[in-house]
């Protein structure tokens, strides 16, 4: 199962992705991979992953994308699972090769792992490039702004028009629930929003540059994420297959 997390910059995509990883680890999941597809992403720091070269760094030295390439880039995470970082090239020009290699590695990861999470770069670029192709679950993340809902709508439309989305789409909104936002989401043709609260404990860890703490339902964010997965059946049997 390939789960892509997308949306406007700054709405909490990476935090939600990290919370999903912590939940998987709390369920003793081991056989999954999370991809940081933001070139300057911080997902590895949030999860305390082992330091490994990024896709971009390895691609600068290797012309062949094979199993050895993937093994160099896949970083084990404390608590279970693996992390792959896209990174960015240290030279002038476009990201074409790095994007292409990342797409090939994601295809390999989907074949190897029963569950892959992809934390996308802000906006639509990974959708149009097909970096996250054949998406089984598209998680759109927004805050309580019209701009973030417009980006979510554009991402959903793009995924559908280009044939990237093979399964369901979900909308997660950071902040307390309001009838007005629910109405706007409905008018834009977005999925029914699920609201997750801001979490002081998570914010403090991020401010201090510390990995997110272990999963516990006493933390508002973690409890809300677990309830969302259960109520909306987001991962279906993926948790059981990871045990």
User: How large a percentage of the chain has pLDDT more than 70?
Assistant: 95
Give residue 59's pLDDT band: very low, low, confident or very high (50, 70, 90): confident
pLDDT of amino acid 5: 96
CA distance 61 to 54: 12
Give residue 243's pLDDT band: very low, low, confident or very high (50, 70, 90): low
Tally the domains of the chain.
1
- Using one digit for the tens of pLDDT, what is the confidence trace for 165-175? 999 999 999 99
End-to-end CA distance of the chain: 15
DSSP state of 192: P
- Using one digit for the tens of pLDDT, what is the confidence trace for 214-238? 888 889 999 999 999 999 889 876 6
Q: Is the pLDDT of residue 239 over 70?
A: no
What is the domain extent for residue 177?
Answer: 2-242
* Measured torsion, CA atoms of residues 39, 221, 209, 69, in degrees rounded to the nearest 10: -40
CA distance 142 to 6: 9
CB of 115 within 8 A of CB of 235? Answer: yes
Among 8-12, 120-124, 153-157, 193-197, the range scoring the smallest mean pLDDT is 120-124
| b/e 170-186 (16+ beta carbons within 10 angstroms → b) | bbbbbbeeeeebeebbe
Give residue 145's pLDDT band: very low, low, confident or very high (50, 70, 90): very high
* pTM for this model (two decimals): 0.93
CA distance 228 to 199: 16
Cα-based angle 29, 35, 39 (whole degrees, multiple of 5): 155
Q: What is the CATH number of the domain that holds 47?
A: 3.40.50.300
pLDDT of amino acid 37: 92
- Using one digit for the tens of pLDDT, what is the confidence trace for 163-209? 999 999 999 999 999 999 999 999 999 999 999 998 988 888 888 88
Measured in residues, the chain has a length of 243
């Amino acid at each position: 199962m390939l789960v892509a997390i997308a949306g406007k910059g700054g709405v909490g995509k990476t935090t939600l992705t990290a919370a999903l990883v912590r939940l998987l680890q709390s369920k003793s999941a081991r056989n999954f991979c999370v991809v940081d597809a933001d070139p300057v992403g911080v997902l590895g720091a949030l999860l305390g992953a082992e330091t490994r070269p990024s896709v971009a760094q390895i691609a600068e030295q290797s012309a062949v994308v094979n199993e050895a390439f993937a093994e160099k880039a896949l970083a084990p995470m404390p608590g279970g699972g693996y992390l792959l970082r896209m990174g960015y090239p240290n030279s002038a020009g476009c990201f074409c090769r790095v994007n292409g290699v990342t797409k090939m590695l994601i295809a390999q990861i989907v074949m190897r792992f029963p569950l892959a999470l992809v934390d996308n770069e802000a906006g639509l670029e990974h959708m149009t490039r097909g970096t996250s192709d054949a998406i089984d679950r598209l998680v759109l993340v927004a805050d309580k702004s019209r701009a973030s809902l417009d980006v979510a709508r554009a991402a959903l439309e793009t995924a559908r028009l280009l044939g990237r989305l093979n399964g369901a789409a979900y909308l997660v909104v950071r902040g307390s629930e309001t009838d007005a936002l629910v109405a706007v989401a409905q008018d834009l043709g977005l999925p029914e929003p699920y609201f997750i609260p801001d979490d002081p404990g998570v914010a403090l860890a991020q401010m201090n540059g510390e990995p997110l703490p272990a999963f516990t339902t006493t933390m508002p964010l973690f409890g809300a994420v677990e309830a969302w997965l259960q109520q909306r059946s987001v991962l279906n049997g993926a948790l059981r297959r990871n045990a």
